[in-house]
Structure 1
């Protein structure tokens, strides 16, 4: 794994999102925290980096036996977490792309193991003020899963809203939609690609088609996406 000149390093998972590790590109970002059995990603939208909603990666059978570490690359903003169990080393890595304006997150199992997890979204974040309501959808199309959220909120500054969509690509496994969640079974690796945008609260329609089209056109390879991001990142 790449780990050049880290700016942050920890040997235990962050317990709350305000202590999590952040990756951002100036337009969108993500804060990663939580145990391997329930990793949580707080997506941020806009230059103000306002928390939009939380993405949850639930893997109940997962437990870090030892060697946990989470690191942020000082130049690219890539966040990498690793841990070991009786099967070997597991890894997860994520970055907010400058080249494609997408948040890429890859889950890599230990040798001979698979990624088995349930993906969901929520907006109940500690520290967020005002009332909110949100709608979620989970669908599977052309082999990819799509988990979407539309959030409307009220704060002291008035109404605000966000829309987000995550494309789920499972390699060698299957994806099933179950209510408002996606269930991944037996994946050799898992790639999550997320795009966010703001919307006008007065709108009655969902603006996901443009975001979904953009996600569908992206490369499915984390390394390829990262190379494009690194090339667009100031030295």
Structure 2
């Protein structure tokens, strides 16, 4: 889907600097938003620690389709240190984890504004009426023209928010597409088997079922 592809671009160029996507492997993108060659090329841009090798040492290698997307920080402490004490949540299940789901995430991303008169926001916080309490540590991240879409779609704030929410909604349940494909295949298979069984019943067994068996008892010749 083009919207998922654009949404991944927003995640990669904007969100991935702070937020992880732990449940998504590169292979999950294949056939959904990118071709296998495109995903393989993106994975190979990332260095992964692997091993141990035959000498018992860990080593670095290019990413593979089976690898999961890399996190921006090695641990929670590093993440907090890089974000003034706040811990950027993993986005794999963010749509399902927040009340309001996709609508809430979209509103949050597009809802930043100056605080109304009488509302005090302490230093380092940002006003967003869609966030509980109105004060959020994450600054506004989406601005018109921030990314350049490959398909030429104008990258307005609302368009980028819509696309990244579409991507995150898919990321929350990437196996849904697989289940849907298997479900369609199952329906086709069972429908075919049903038609075959009906054909067999009607044209093969029907003559046997309707066949009349005539019984002619032997004539007792002793009475003649």
Question: Normalising by structure 1, what TM-score?
Answer: 0.24
- Pick the structure with more strand per residue: 1
- Pick the structure with more helix per residue: 2
Structure 1 or 2, whichever has the larger Rg, is 2
